[in-house]
Chain A
Amino acid sequence: MRYGYIFTRLAEMVPVLLIVVVATFFLAHAVPGGPFEKDKRMPAEVKKRLEEYYGLDKPLSAQLVTYVGNLCKGDLGPSLKYPGWSVNEVIGSRIPVSIQLGLSALLIAVLIGIPVGVLAASRPNTWLDWVPMGFTLLGICVPSFVLGPILALVFALGLGWFPPCGWGSPIHFVLPALTLGIVTAAPLARLTRGKVIEAGNQDFVRTARAKGLPERRVWFVHALRNGILPVVTYLGPAAAGLVSGSFVVESLFDVPGLGRLFVSSIVNRDFTLILGTTLVYALALLILNLVADLAKAALDPRIARGGTR
């Protein structure tokens, strides 16, 4: 049963990805400007030769068919702005960076956000609630492009604990991962608190307490498990966003990740790279949403019994 469900969900990804490719393809080509028109003036003849070489002179439908054909073989085509590099190579060099950074940020967010939310929910309308929730509000109000420079100012330039930018050793991704993690932890904590408070008012929590379970177990096992559904739903797209890179944080800390690659590919009108990075994001989103759905079914059997078959 479960395997059948996973299989159908995986099979559904094919048409979804195809629609995303086709739509992004036409979007990218509909936008004015081309990869060879941006910076320096290029002789018309050279431009024509380049377009011929990359097949950009053919009709759009023919280009799309070629692209999808190559895609089926796992070939994302040549990059138009990084001569001599294939999109597979360009993206492949960035993916490990973004995944490392994204997963550490995700870990930080979950480890801070969920416990803080449960803690606040267990003592609603007391200082234990107000103080952590005040901090989460701060986390929501302070965007990454403010938090990042502040962290860099304090921990890199002030205390000198971490390098302010760059990439290479694990110590480099402390500050960017913290920035992304804190920014993601704040909404997580608020979502957790709201749902756990609701769960805490229900009979089964009273029963759990009446059985003599310790408070910690009542909140973190009984109430949390019933309140965590929207948190998991939220985590699906949020995790996809994290592992596919953040333009702002990567620019701030000079991290060679996917987020900057994506934005620069759009600015450069590097058609194949736009499609490649979009596909990576789409794949991450679909897979992580599937993981989130499976986690929800495992946490709440009522969902498995009900609709999502």
Chain B
Amino acid sequence: MSGAGSSLVPTETGCQRFRKDPAAFWAGWFLVAVGVACLLSPWIAPYDYQKQDLALGAVGPGAGHWLGTDTLGRDVLSRLLQGGAVSLGVGLVATVVALLVGVLYGVVAGQSGGLVERAMMRTVDILSTLPLTLIVILCMFVFGQNIWMIFLAVGGVSWLTMSRIICTETVALKNRQFVEVSVALGQSKFGVFKKHYLPNLNGIIAIYATLTVPGVMMLEAFVSFLGLGVQAPMTSWGLMIKDGADIMEECPWLLIAPSVVFALTLLSLNFVGDGLRDAFDPRSSKK
């Protein structure tokens, strides 16, 4: 119960508090390391991710290929690095859009109330109903087969549920006394947003943002599976998990390797999310 919130004036900044949280700190560095490795994959990958070795076929992890090879004899580690660039990119785009667009949209809708809120929420309804697959096919037709389409699609949908959740929370906050007092004292709308809405929303923002990332990575796998996203020989973590699941009895390492990397990344992401929430929420209890 006793918390970092014992004093009303924070004596250290959120960044300083974040650095003192070992789990979040190291998880953050892990994410950075994975990201950098994936970005540098053309130079540091042990093999070319698309080089096939049909004579070799699928072999388990060993000296030559640390994480084994797939059915076409391609090096799994190199493919993981290449696929990570796609998957992490998708996750990053989704997070940024969900945080910027989703949160702002939700707060504005919830704060305005009345007709404005309803119009904004019905717009979200319409957008989440339109068949994404059709839109992706159409974009491919107009802009050509292009890996950027997948980022566009992911960015387009990742903010919808976030805005819905934030809107509800804002409506509940709007009637709390401290917000009413703040408004009555003449605080500007942005001031209320910064001082009262954001600190009270950041818990749910952190949780939902970390839930968005695996969701969109799977969305990318689904769209790619339909032949509309990432094209062979390129790959992504979602696609590798999908392919691995198809032959998990014969070649379990093809499922395990991408799943473990995926899980570790999500785990770190959760630590970072929790750490950021604690660091910027003076009220939340910490051990």
- How far apart sit A195 and B206, CA to CA, in the bound complex (Å)? 11
- A306 & B165 in contact (Cβ 8 Å cutoff): no
- B169 & A307 in contact (Cβ 8 Å cutoff): no
- CB closest residue in chain A, given B281: A198
- Which of A146, A198, A232 meets B203, CB within 8 Å? A198
- A149 & B248 in contact (Cβ 8 Å cutoff): yes
B residues 122-179 with Cβ under 8 Å of A?
122, 125-126, 128-131, 133-135, 137-138, 141, 160-161, 164-165, 168-169, 171-172, 174-176
- B287 & A31 in contact (Cβ 8 Å cutoff): no
Known: A137-B263, A190-B211. A31 touches B245 (CB 8 A): no
- How far apart sit A115 and B138, CA to CA, in the bound complex (Å)? 43
In the complex, whether A100 has a CB less than 8 A from a CB of chain B is no
A109 to chain B, nearest CB (A): 14
B143 to chain A, nearest CB (A): 13
Known: A198-B284, A248-B222, A266-B137. A274 touches B161 (CB 8 A): no
- B174 & A309 in contact (Cβ 8 Å cutoff): no
- A143 & B122 in contact (Cβ 8 Å cutoff): no
In the complex, whether B259 has a CB less than 8 A from a CB of chain A is yes
- B211 & A191 in contact (Cβ 8 Å cutoff): yes
- Which of B165, B241, B266 meets A234, CB within 8 Å? B165
- Which of B174, B255, B283 meets A146, CB within 8 Å? B255
Known: A31-B134, A194-B203, A309-B114. A141 touches B263 (CB 8 A): yes
In the complex, whether A176 has a CB less than 8 A from a CB of chain B is no
Residues on the B chain within 8 Å of A309, using CB: 114
A253 to chain B, nearest CB (A): 14
Residues on the B chain within 8 Å of A237, using CB: 128, 160-161, 164
In the complex, whether B238 has a CB less than 8 A from a CB of chain A is yes
In the complex, whether A12 has a CB less than 8 A from a CB of chain B is yes
- A24 & B131 in contact (Cβ 8 Å cutoff): yes
In the complex, whether A257 has a CB less than 8 A from a CB of chain B is no
B6 to chain A, nearest CB (A): 13
Interface size bracket, B side: 35 or more
A47 to chain B, nearest CB (A): 21
List B residues at the A interface (Cβ < 8 Å): 1, 3, 110, 113-114, 117-118, 122, 125-126, 128-131, 133-135, 137-138, 141, 160-161, 164-165, 168-169, 171-172, 174-176, 203-204, 206-208, 210-211, 214, 218, 221-222, 226, 238, 241-242, 244-245, 248-249, 255, 259, 262-263, 266-267, 270, 283-285, 287
List A residues at the B interface (Cβ < 8 Å): 12, 15-16, 19-20, 23-24, 27-28, 30-32, 124-125, 137-138, 140-143, 145-146, 149-150, 153, 187, 190-191, 194-195, 197-198, 201, 229-230, 232-234, 236-237, 247-248, 262-263, 266, 274, 278, 281-282, 285-286, 289, 296, 300, 302-303, 305-309
Task: State the 6 A-B residue pairs at the shortest beta-carbon distance, nearest first.
Answer: A307-B113, A141-B263, A282-B129, A194-B207, A307-B171, A146-B245
Q: List 28 A-B contacts (CB under 8 A).
A: A16-B125, A19-B126, A27-B134, A28-B134, A30-B138, A141-B259, A143-B214, A143-B221, A146-B259, A187-B211, A190-B211, A191-B204, A194-B204, A194-B206, A201-B285, A230-B165, A230-B168, A230-B169, A232-B168, A234-B165, A237-B160, A248-B222, A262-B131, A263-B133, A282-B129, A302-B176, A306-B172, A309-B114
